[in-house]
Chain A
Amino acid sequence: MNSILVAENISKKFGEHTALSNVSINIPKNSIYGLLGPNGAGKTTLIRIINQITYPDKGHVLFDGEPLAPEHIATIGYLPEERGLYKSMKVGEQALYLAQLKGLSKADAKKRLEYWFERLEIGNWWNKKIQELSKGMAQKIQFIVTVLHQPKLLIFDEPFSGFDPINANRIKDEILELKKQGTSIIFSTHRMESVEELCEYIALIHKSEKILDGKLKDIKKAHKNNVFQIGVAPNNTAVDLGSVLQEQFVVKQALYNREDENWELSIQLPSADTSHLLASLTTYGNVNHFEETIPSANDIFIQTINAKSNE
């Protein structure tokens, strides 16, 4: 597979504390890769290793096929979770400074900044000081500075924090647009709905170990547990379908709600075979809803972590 980044058997200790233990990930080119895990799992350490802020004790990282080296810094864009700007510096000056540190020439940086300031409608902020801006405004500057040097790999750590819903959406669209242009993106967040929306691949890190990774679709498929949402328009309202089915299957309240006259239930089957259930349902009425429940990223996250913790 053509990968932008391969990390192999990465281990990292801080004194007695193990931050990462034998973690391997493989990030395909031009994908959005979700790096998930509870607080303190080791995500930030992994990201810092990719950014060469710290170095692994063991293992190695390949960037675009080559061993990770200082010159790759210019082709990576990183938006850290703990982010800020110099408070007393002017917006334009500061953006120019950070862009130049990434290796852009001053003229180049200025041209691109003007484009992005225009694009995100903040052109008139150039001479404002950061301390005069709101948090969301400062986040926009951060975002621009991260993507300005057109990196091959973008790393976003909680990119939407501090944004109102409208601007968060705006930034999400920009991220998707960047992906369309061929950028690979690592996305670290706790907000599962944005994982669902954006990520094709995910890796789940828990207590310094990677406990799950792969294509989100495949993971979801693998985590299906034969739960179906059913709806039946009853022939005979005197019968309680729920208690009848309970003798054979695990029955719960349905996760959807369509109309009052319906029997609506959530049913877990012992296997993926649905013929038996369907056959019995038709005897009680007209089946008007039958859908397999695909677990959400959130469910998978909680399930996997809990399973691991109970081991």
Chain B
Amino acid sequence: MSKLGLIIKREYLAKVRNKSFVIMTFLSPILMVGMIVLIAYLTKVNDSESRTIAILNQSDYFSNAFTPTESISYVSFKDITLEEAKDSTQSLDYYALLHIPKEDSLEETAESTFLYAKDNPNSSVLNRLEGIFEQRLRQARLQDLGISKKQFATVDTKFQMHAGTFKGEENLKGINELKAIIGGGFGYLIMMFIIIYGGFVMRSVIEEKTSRIIEVIISSVKPFQLMLGKIIGTSLAGITQFTIWIISASMLLFVALLLLNIDLATLTQGQPLGPGAMAGMGDFADAKNQKMLLYAAEFFKIPWVLIVVSFLIYFVLGYLIYSSIYAAIGAAVDNETDTQQFIFPIILPLMLAIYVGFFSVFSNPHGPIAVGFSLFPLTSPIVMLMRIPGGLGEGGVPIWQFVTSIILLILTFLAIVWLAAKIYRVGILMYGKKPTYKELFKWLKYK
């Protein structure tokens, strides 16, 4: 086996056999799934709370308007005064009292209706009740105008602008955001990986310095080989960990959801829409399904192969750049507490990439900021990945930008690794010095 191979193997095994690494690897998915299940469970519990609303209907209208739902049920009071109804509502611990007084017309009745509750009524309850009133009022007005329900249905139209690219692909609302989120997810993954495993590389270098094994080793191998082997070995350990996390987390999640009988659909859909909106949209159910199909089609049209390929390119180059900086920092210091001043400048571009990138790519994937950040080598691995799901070439990232950013990244990679290796080579043999940036600059000039 080559020396580099030996070093990679040792670094990998040293990392993988480490107790805290093993514990983290197997505990994290359990913790993560536990969190998700807990959130899902709490949401379910929260939703299933049923509210009872008392109705004191003294009017001639709204007699059959209130149909109970899963979350709201109705109780009618009859032949009592408002004051009595209020008392009863409170003593029976109902959620609210809806008072519909007797007035001359439907409009006036609706206007004078009042909802009494202990404190501000829940907005979904309010929405639901308002929906019922709106519907009734609309029907009444239509009748006054002499329009039948059927006639109304034919005129009541929802309109959506069809928009598309010049090539004739149809645009869908929110699809850009969806793409940015997918790309952002990959970008975020890169950032996390760099911060976690870059830190591991750094600590491993510091350990070699403090245990004084470093001089024994570099009398056998070149410092550059050792640095490279360390970076590769540690990242392989990281990839192992991520793979275990993804596989075990998805398996655990599946099992947990199955056991707890939580419907995945309710989780992804979020809050159900208010009844008012539903009432109007009921007729559009077919259209909505069609829309979903379009979204699904668009989802599959996202250039997944391109995303995965560019993820690998940007991941490898970005990680190598950052982890060689981490290795150089580890070599420059004697202990971890001295690393702070050097760590911040590394984290900064990563953070900028995530936050600035996210906002600018969200609003305009081809705006000047988004383009600038996706070309700048220290942020491009993250920001370019946010833009890539929009495709390459026409309508997506211009090919020249993609190529330029990769070329810049490769050049930066070569420059940074060269500089880092120089600092590393000098630093690993320096003890008891608290390095400054000025000092590091001097090291670059040593032969």
Contact = CB atoms under 8 A, between A and B. Distances in A.
Interface of A: 14-15, 48, 51, 53-55, 57, 70, 73, 76, 78, 80, 82-89, 97-98, 100-102, 142, 145
B446 interface: yes
Interface string B306-324: 0000000000000000000
Contacts of B445: 15
Contacts of A15: 442, 445-446
A51 B217 CA distance: 11
B442 A80 contact: no
B422 to A, nearest CB: 12
Interface in B1-47: 1, 3, 6-7, 10, 14, 18
A57 B447 contact: yes
A162 B3 CA distance: 30
A215 B378 CA distance: 59
A86 B213 contact: yes
Contact of B216 (A57, A83, A87, A89): A83
Interface residues of B, number: 27
B212 A82 contact: yes
Contacts of A54: 446-447
B415 to A, nearest CB: 22
A102 B218 CA distance: 10
Contact of B10 (A53, A84, A97, A102): A97
Contacts of B223: 53
B14 A89 contact: yes
B429 interface: yes
Contacts of A57: 447
Given A15-B445, A73-B220, A142-B216, A101 B3 contact: yes
A142 B6 CA distance: 19
A57 B220 CA distance: 22
Q: Which 7 pairs of residues, A with B, have the shortest CB-CB distance?
A: A84-B212, A80-B215, A101-B220, A84-B211, A78-B219, A51-B219, A84-B213
A102 B220 contact: yes
Contacts of B215: 53, 78, 80, 82-83
A86 B211 CA distance: 7
A86 B7 CA distance: 13
B431 interface: yes
B403 interface: no
A54 B219 CA distance: 10
- Which residue of B3, B208, B213, B217 has the most chain A CB atoms within 10 A of its CB atom? B213
B293 interface: no
Nearest to B428: A53
A98 B216 contact: yes
Contacts of A97: 6, 10
Interface in B390-432: 429, 431
A76 B219 contact: yes
A88 B213 contact: no
B303 to A, nearest CB: 44
A74 B216 CA distance: 13
Contacts of B7: 101
B348 interface: no
Contacts of A100: 1, 6
A55 B447 contact: yes
Contacts of B1: 100
A98 B218 CA distance: 10
B217 A101 contact: yes
Contact of A85 (B6, B211, B222, B431): B211
Given A15-B446, A53-B429, A88 B14 contact: yes
Contacts of A85: 211, 213, 216
B421 to A, nearest CB: 14
A97 B220 CA distance: 11
A56 to B, nearest CB: 8
A82 B430 CA distance: 11
B294 to A, nearest CB: 56
